[in-house]
Amino acid sequence: MTGPPSEIDPSEDGDPEPTPEDLRAADGRRPGRRGLATRQRLLECTATMLGTGAYRELKVVDIARDAGTSPATFYQYFADVESAVVVLAEEMAAQGKRFGDHVRASPWRGKRGYAAAEALVDEIIGFWEEHRVVLRVVDLATDEGDARFANVRTRLLNDLNNALAHVIGEMHASGRVPDDVDPQATAGVLVSMLVHVSAHRYGFEFWGVRTADLRTAMARIVYWSVSGQKPPIQG
Say if residue 123 is in the same domain as residue 218: yes
- Residue-level pLDDT at 35: 83
Domain presence at residue 130:
yes
Say if residue 72 is in the same domain as residue 185: no
Give percent of the chain above pLDDT 70: 86
Say if residue 64 is in the same domain as residue 102: no
Residue 233, pLDDT above cutoff 90? no
- Residue-level pLDDT at 29: 65
Say if residue 158 is in the same domain as residue 68: no
Say if residue 33 is in the same domain as residue 62: yes
Say if residue 196 is in the same domain as residue 154: yes
Say if residue 118 is in the same domain as residue 209: yes
Say if residue 70 is in the same domain as residue 97: no
Average pLDDT over residues 91-117: 94
Say if residue 104 is in the same domain as residue 73: no
Say if residue 65 is in the same domain as residue 96: no
Domain presence at residue 232:
no
CB 46 within 8 A of CB 84: yes
Say if residue 157 is in the same domain as residue 49: no
Say if residue 198 is in the same domain as residue 107: yes
Reported as a pLDDT band with limits 50, 70 and 90, residue 20 is very low
- Residue-level pLDDT at 10: 38
Domain presence at residue 1:
no
Average pLDDT over residues 75-96: 92
Average pLDDT over residues 92-119: 94
State the Cα–Cα distance between residues 203 and 187, nearest whole angstrom: 24
What range does the domain containing 223 cover?
91-227
